[in-house]
Structure 1
Amino acid sequence: MRITLIAALVLSSGFAYADEGQWQPYQMPSIADKLTERGIEIPAKQLADLGQYPMNAVVSLGYCTASFVSPQGLVVTNHHCAYRGIQYNSKKEHNYLADGFLAKKMADEPSAGPNERLYITENVKNVTEQVTANLSDEPLTRYEQIQTNSKALIKECEADDNYRCSVNSYHNGLEYYLIKQLIIRDVRLVYAPPESVGGYGGDIDNYEYPRHSGDFTFLRAYVGKDGKPAVYSEDNVPFTPKSYLKINADGVKAGDGVFAAGYPGSTSRYNLTSELKFASEWLYPTYAARYQLQIDTITQMGETDRDIAIKYAGTIASMSNRMKKLNGLLDGFKATDIVGIKQSREDDFLAWLKQDKAANPKLIAELETLLAEQQKQTQTNYYFENAQSSTLLSTAKKLYRLAQEKQKPDAERESGYQERDMKMFRAELERIDSSFAVEVDKTLWLQDLNAYIGQPLKVKVFDNALEHANNHKEFIAKVDGMYALTELTDQATRLAWMDKSVEAFETSSDPFIRLAVDVHATNMDLEKASKLLDGKLSKARPKYMEAVIAYYKANNWPVYPDANRTLRITYGMVDGYQSKDALYKQPFTRLEGIAAKHTGEEPYNAPAKLLAAIATNDYGKHTIQSVYNDPRSWMCKLVSCVETKNDFNSVPVNFLSSVDTTGGNSGSPVFNGRGELVGLNFDSTYEAITKDWFFNPIITRAVHVDIRYILWMMDQVDHADNLIKELDLVRNP
C-alpha cells in the first residue's frame, strides 16, 4: 500500500506525537513538561485535582460538554448541544430555533426539557481489582460477573440519590474506574442565538474551514431551595457551583498554548487494522447510506409541514453530522492511506512482540478470530435491528423488557431497568411527543422494513408477526393499521404501561405491544450471543492492550486510553495548517466573512440585525489588531515560514488549534495557559476526521468559536447585558 508523504513524515518523525492525547486528569503531572513547552502556566497538579479550578467547573450534558461561567449556575455550551432544549421550547407561534431566545430575567428561563441533565464529576477511582477479582473462564459467566461487580460498586456509590455513578472500562477492559457525578435535574434555557448564527453554514460548512459559526448557547442549572438537585419546579433556585470559569476577553493569538477539557465520545486508535478495514469497507458506507435516505425523507416531509420541521430539526442535525463524519472518515482513509499507516504500525508491533519470549505468540490470532465473529454478528443483526426502528415499537419493547426485569431483584436487573434508572426512563417516555410525528415515524420504519425484506437473512417470528408475504400493498396496509390502532401515541398511556405486569403485555391487543412480545425471545437470544462474545473479548482485549502499552512505552510514545465519554484533558496551540498544495488555512476567521458568505438563503442567511451590526464596524472591546504565522507552529517546523504581521482589525469568529478532540468534546471549554476561557470547541476540520483512528499532527485541527465573538454578539447584537454582568471578565496582563 502507498503511504502519502504526510503519512511518511508522521511515521518517521517526532511530529507523530506532538499534542496527541486525550489524557485522564490524573495523568497531567506525568506530562507536565509537555504542558510547560506549550506555555500552559496552570500547574499540572492543579489540573489533576477535580476539586480545584478549572476542572470543577467542567460538566457533562451526557452527550456534550459544558462549563459553569457564573456563581449563579450559568452554563455555556454549543448551540448544537443545546439544540434539544431550544427545540423543546419552539412552537409555530414562537420558533426559537429560527428566531433565537434571550431571557432578560431568571423568571423567564424555561425548562430545557425533562431529559436534560448536567453531570458534575466529583470523584474518579480505580476499581480494577474489585471488578476483575476471581473472574470465571467461562465467557458468559465472566461477562455477568463483571456486570455484577460493577453494579455492586455503583449501588454503594449511589447511596445518595443526588449522585449518578458508573463503572467505565479503559484500555478495553485492562482497567476500570468508578466515576461519581452530581446530577442537576433542572436545566433551563437562558440565551440562544438563531440557528442562522449558531449553525451558520449548515451542513455545507460542517467539518470545513474557514468557518463563521456562532455555535454557543447559555443554560442555567437550578436546584431545590435546600441546595440539593431537584426536578423542575418554579420554586427552584439557581445552583451555586464550587467554581466558575474566568473569561479572558482578550482571547488568544496564533502560537498561544491552549488546552481543552471535556467528555470525548469514542476513538479507536489501538484497534487492529482488520477493524479499520471492516469499518471502511462495510460499516461506515452502510450507516452513511441509511442516514442519507432518512435525512432526505424527513427534509422533504418537513418542507410541507412546519411542525414536522421543528420536531425533527434536532434529528436532522444529528444525522447530518454523523453522515458527514462517516463520509469524511471514508475520504480521509483514501487521502492519507490510514489503513496503510495502521498496518505498518501493526507489523512493527508484531515484530517487536516476537522478540519477547514471555509473550503469547497466538495473542493476535486469537483476537482476530473473535473480531471476525463480532463483525459477522454485526452484519447478521443489522437489518433485523433496523426493522424494529419504529419509535413506538422501540417504546413497546422497552416497556415489556421493564415488566420482565421487574420480576427480578433490583441488583439482578439489566442496566437501564433498575430503580436508579426509572426517573430517566419516565422522562424519555414523556419527551417522545416533542420529536415524534406518526407519518414520519411510519415512513422511516417502512424504509427499514423494505431494506430488511430485501436481504436474505430473516427472523421467522418477525416475518410471521408482520405477515408481509409477497403482497406489498397488504404489507403497507398492515403497518398503517398498527399506527391507527395503537394507543402508545398517548403519553399518559405510555407512562401507565411502566407499572403493568408481564401478563398484561402478553394479553394486550395493542399491535405494537403484541409485536414487542413476539420478538422479545429472539432479541434476548441475540443479546445473549453478544454478551457471550463480550465475555470472550474481556479476556483477549486486555491481554492485547498490555502488549500494546508495553510496545508504546518501549518507543517512548504517549499512552492514554481511547475516548469513552469520561473526563479528559488535551493540550495544543493556536495554529493554522497546510490543507492542500499552496493552500494554507489561517487560524482565525473574521466577522466580515459572515457578511461575505451571506446569500439570504439557508444555510448562509445571517440575521438582519447581525449584518447591520457588522456594517457599523463597531467592534467594541472585542477586536484584535493583528494575527501572525508563528514560527513555533508544527507546520513552520516542516516548511519555511516567515513571521509576518497582518492587519486583522476585526472580531475573530472562529479559530483553529491542535488540541486532540472528537465527538463529545462539543461545547468543551478551551483555555489559555492560565486556565481562562477563550473559546468553545465545536468541530474538527475535514482532514482531521480520521483522528478517531490515527492522530496526524500536521493536519489535525479542532475548530473553536472565539470568546470575543460570543461577547460581541451578547454586547452589540442581542444586548444580553444581564448575562454579561454575571460573567467574570479578565484581560491579559
Structure 2
Amino acid sequence: MRIALIAALTLSSGLAFADEGQWQPYQMPSIADKLQHRGIDIPAKQLADLSQYPMNAVVGLGYCTASFVSPQGLVVTNHHCAYRAIQYNSNTEHNYLAEGFLAKSQQQEPSAGPNERLYITESVTDVTKQVNANLSDEPLARYQGIERNKKALIKECESDDNYRCSVSSFHNGLEFYLSKQLIIRDVRLVYAPPESVGAFGGDIDNYEYPRHSGDFTFLRAYVGKDGKPATYSTDNVPYTPKSYLKINANGVKAGDGVFVAGYPGSTSRYRLTSELEFASQWLYPTYAAHYQQKIDTIEQMGGADNGIKIKYAGTLASMANRMKKLNGLLDGFKATDIVGIKQNRENDFLAWLKQDKNANQQVIAELESLLAKQHKLTQTNYYFENAQSSTLLSAAKSLYRLAKEKQKDDADREAGYQERDMKMFTARLKRIDTSFDANVDKTLWLQDLNEYVDQPLKVKVLDNALSRASSDEDLSNKVAGFYALTELTDQSTRLAWMDKSPAEFESSNDPFIRLAVALHDTNMQLEQEQKTLRGKLSVARPAYMSAVINYYKANDWPVYPDANGTLRITYGMVDGYQSADALYKQPFTRLEGIVAKHTGVEPFNAPEKVLNAIKANDYGEHRIGSVYQDPRSWFCKLMSCEAKPNEFGSVPVNFLSSVDTTGGNSGSPVLNGQGELVGLNFDSTYEAITKDWFFNPTITRAVHVDVRYILWMMDKVDNADNLMEELDLVKD
C-alpha cells in the first residue's frame, strides 16, 4: 500500500495524533493520561514545573539543545551542535575536528568561542493581553505597537543583566509568552570525538537509517567566583546547576516509553495548503539549488586549502544539512500526497465552519489574499537580497544600521540594535575572523551577483553600484576591487565602526560601507513593506487559528502550537518502522555496523582505535542484557556488575523512537519514564522530514545516539575517566 494512502487513512481515522505534539511544559497535566499510557511515570505536574528535575537541567544553545549531566556544570549535546566550538579551537597544527579533543582536567578546557552561550529557561509567562494592548487598526502602526509592547516587557524582564528575555508568538499570533533565561557566557570545550565518529556517514547517512553516528560532545558552563554569569576568565569556576540528569546506563529496549525536552525550531502544521504549495513548488527548490552551489564552491576551495576547509567546516555542515532537509521535504511531498491530505483537511474545516453562523466565513479568503502578496514579495526580492550576501557587506550594513538606530531612544530602536544586543553584536563582528576567507567570500558573492544580473527584476540602486560592470569579467574585477580596498577584514577596524556617526559612514571611502549606505534606503523601504504586511497578518492569522483550534477541539484532536524555538516536551516509544514494502527497519544499530560500513574513505572512515576495540571485543567478556558491562571495566567497577547471559549481543549505537522532533531538538536529552538520560536526539529519518508539515505516525521516527555508546566511547576508546567520575550513573 502506498505511503500516501496510509497517511490519508491514518489522518481520516484520527489516529494520526498518536505520539504527536510538541507540547508547552504547562500543558503536560492535560496529557497526563497519554504520558502514563506510554510508560512515562514521572508526574506530569513535575514536568510542567521548570524549577524541578528534569526540566531545570535542560538548556538551550540558541540553535540546539543540551543538558547538564554533573554538579560541576558539565553539559552534553550533539557533536554537530558543538561543531563551531570545535572549529574555533582547531587550526592546521591541531585539527580537533579530525583528531577529536579531550581535556583531562578543567584547566585544559578552552573557550568554546565568544559567541557561545547556554540559556537556562527559568520561567515562561502568558503575556498575550500586554502584547495586544492599545494597538492601532492601521497595519504598520499595529505591527510597531506589537513590537513596542514586546520590547517593554523584555526591558522590564531584563532588569538583571544576567538574564535574557524574549516574547514569542504562539498559534500564529493568537497567544504570546515571555521566556526568562539565565545566560551562561563562559562556555568551554571539554570532550569531542573525532568527526569520523561524531559524523560517521556524513552527508550520505544524514537523515538516513540505519545510522552509526557518535553525535555527542561535552561542554562545561563557567561563572565568576561569586556564582554569577561572567565572560571568559581564567579565574572563573564551574557553574553549579540546580539539578543535573541521572544517566541510566542500562539504556532502553524496544517498546519503552521515552520523552524529549528541548527547543524545536519551526514547524508549519497549521499553515494553509497554498503555503505548502508555494514552499514545494518554488521556495524549497530555489533554496536547495542555492545551497548546493555554495557547497560545491566551498568544497572545491577547501579541497585545495586545508585552512579554508577548517574555517568553513561549520558553515559547510550547516548548509549541507539544510539542503538535504529541503530535498527530503521535496521527495516526501512526492512520496506522500501531503498537499492532497492538507487540502482535504482544509475542505473539512471549511465545511465545519459553514455550520457555525457566528463564525467569520471569510477567515481563509482574507488570509489567502495576504499570503498571495507575501509570496510575490518573497519572489520579487529574492535575487536582490541574495546579491547582498557578502559577509563584509552584511557587516557594513549592520554597522550603518546601528549608527542610524543610535539616533533614537533605546526603546524605539529596532530589535537587534538596542543596548541589550551590543554584547552579541560585538561578538558576531569578532567571530567573522574564525569562519571567513576573503577569496571564498568573494567567490560566493560573485556567484550571487551573477544570478542577480541574469534575471529581469533589477533594483536601480544596486544597478548603479555595478554600473561599470558590463561583462562577467568587469563584474569580477569590480568585486575584486571591493576586497582589495576595504579595511573591514580587520577586526579592530570593524569594532571601531560601532562608535561612528551616520555622517562618518556617509563620507567613508571604504567600498563596502559606501555600498551599504547606498542600499540602506531601499532595504528600509522593503523592510517597511514586510512590516505592513505582517501587521495585516497579525489580524488575519490569529482569526484563522482561533477557528482552527475550535475545529480541532470539536474533533477531540490535540492542540499544541507549532514549534517556534521555545522549550517543548514530546513523548513516544522506542520503535522501528516499515520504510517500504517488506522492509522493516529495526530500532537499534550495533557496533558491528560500524565495521561493516567502514571503507577507510571519508565519511565512512572510522578511527583505528574504534575499529580495534570492536574487533577485539573490547566491550566486555560478558554483555549483560542491553548494556555493555565488562566486570573489568571502569563502569562495572563502579556499578558492581555481575556476569549474566547476553541478550542484546553488542553495544547499541543509535536507536529510533516515535517522539515528535524537528530542527533545534538536536542535542535534546532522550529520557526514560523515570526522567533518566538514555540518549541524545540528533536526526530524523528521511521519510519523516515532512513532519514539519504533517505528522504521520506510521513513518515518523527520530534518531538518537544511545547513551551506552557514549559511555563505551568514554570508557573503552578515549579513556575519559575524569569525566565519567562526574556522571551520576544508575542501573535498574
- Interval containing the TM-score (normalised by the shorter chain): over 0.9
Contact 1:625 1:650 in 2 (8 A): no
**Which AA in structure 1 matches 2:341?**
I
**Which AA in structure 2 matches 1:150?**
K
1:369 to 2:337 alignment: no
Residue matched to 1:443: 443
Residue matched to 1:24: 24
Once superposed, what is the RMSD of the aligned Cα atoms? Answer: 1.3
| 3-state SS of 2:187 partner | strand
Contact 2:622 2:646 in 1 (8 A): no
Residue matched to 1:45: 45
Q: TM-score normalized by structure 1?
A: 0.96
Length, aligned pairs only = 714
Give the Cα separation in 1 of the matches to 2:680 and 2:107.
Answer: 27
Give the Cα separation in 2 of the matches to 1:57 and 1:468.
Answer: 58
Q: Per-residue deviation at 1:469?
A: 4.4
Q: 1:477-516, CA deviations, whole angstroms, 9 ceiling, x for partnerless residues? A: 1110110000000000000000001011000000000000
Contact 1:284 1:326 in 2 (8 A): yes
Q: Per-residue deviation at 1:619?
A: 1.7
Structure 1 segment 160-559 matched on structure 2, within 5 A: 160-559=160-559
Give the Cα separation in 2 of the matches to 1:469 and 1:198.
Answer: 45
Residue matched to 2:64: 64
Q: 1:42-63, CA deviations, whole angstroms, 9 ceiling, x for partnerless residues? A: 0000000000000000000000
Contact 1:467 1:475 in 2 (8 A): no
Q: 1:111-165, CA deviations, whole angstroms, 9 ceiling, x for partnerless residues? A: 0000000000000000000000121110000000000000000000000000000
Give the Cα separation in 1 of the matches to 2:226 and 2:648.
Answer: 50
Q: Per-residue deviation at 1:621?
A: 9.6
Residue matched to 2:158: 158
| 3-state SS of 1:442 partner | helix
Contact 2:623 2:646 in 1 (8 A): no
Give the Cα separation in 1 of the matches to 2:585 and 2:528.
Answer: 50
Q: Per-residue deviation at 1:618?
A: 2.4
Q: 1:283-306, CA deviations, whole angstroms, 9 ceiling, x for partnerless residues? A: 000000000000000000001000
| 3-state SS of 2:475 partner | helix
Residue matched to 2:147: 147
Residue matched to 1:724: 724
Contact 1:100 1:193 in 2 (8 A): yes
**Which AA in structure 1 matches 2:98?**
A
**Which AA in structure 1 matches 2:57?**
A
Distance 1:57 1:299, change over 3 A: same
Contact 1:623 1:708 in 2 (8 A): no
1:714 to 2:718 alignment: no
**Which AA in structure 1 matches 2:453?**
I
Q: Per-residue deviation at 1:647?
A: 5.4
Q: Per-residue deviation at 1:467?
A: 1.9
Q: 1:529-581, CA deviations, whole angstroms, 9 ceiling, x for partnerless residues? A: 00000000000000000000000000000000000000000000000000000
Contact 1:207 1:684 in 2 (8 A): yes
Q: Per-residue deviation at 1:87?
A: 0.1
Residue matched to 2:566: 566
Q: Per-residue deviation at 1:468?
A: 4.7
1:598 to 2:592 alignment: no
Unaligned runs of 5+ in 2: 628-644
Give the Cα separation in 2 of the matches to 1:690 and 1:450.
Answer: 33
Structure 1 segment 676-687 matched on structure 2, within 5 A: 676-687=676-687
Residue matched to 1:665: 665
Give the Cα separation in 2 of the matches to 1:488 and 1:621.
Answer: 60
Moved more, 385-394 or 645-654: 645-654
Give the Cα separation in 2 of the matches to 1:625 and 1:731.
Answer: 12
Contact 1:600 1:606 in 2 (8 A): yes
Q: Per-residue deviation at 1:475?
A: 1.5
Q: 1:205-239, CA deviations, whole angstroms, 9 ceiling, x for partnerless residues? A: 00000000000000000001110000000100000
Residue matched to 2:630: none
Structure 1 segment 611-650 matched on structure 2, within 5 A: 611-620=611-620, 623=623, 625=625, 648-650=648-650
Residue matched to 1:115: 115
Moved more, 459-468 or 496-505: 459-468
Give the Cα separation in 1 of the matches to 2:489 and 2:198.
Answer: 32
Distance 1:247 1:623, change over 3 A: farther
**Which AA in structure 1 matches 2:518?**
D
Unaligned runs of 5+ in 1: 628-644
Q: TM-score normalized by structure 2?
A: 0.96
Q: Per-residue deviation at 1:626?
A: 6.2
1:704 to 2:718 alignment: no
Residue matched to 1:638: none
Distance 1:654 1:69, change over 3 A: same
| 3-state SS of 1:681 partner | strand
Give the Cα separation in 2 of the matches to 1:431 and 1:626.
Answer: 44
**Which AA in structure 1 matches 2:465?**
A
Give the Cα separation in 2 of the matches to 1:625 and 1:32.
Answer: 30
**Which AA in structure 2 matches 1:599?**
T
Give the Cα separation in 2 of the matches to 1:550 and 1:3.
Answer: 29
**Which AA in structure 1 matches 2:378?**
T
Contact 1:42 1:673 in 2 (8 A): yes
Give the Cα separation in 2 of the matches to 1:126 and 1:345.
Answer: 30
Contact 2:466 2:475 in 1 (8 A): yes
| 3-state SS of 2:648 partner | strand
1:90 to 2:90 alignment: yes
Give the Cα separation in 2 of the matches to 1:149 and 1:717.
Answer: 54
Q: 1:620-641, CA deviations, whole angstroms, 9 ceiling, x for partnerless residues? A: 49955469xxxxxxxxxxxxxx
Residue matched to 1:131: 131
Give the Cα separation in 1 of the matches to 2:376 and 2:173.
Answer: 22
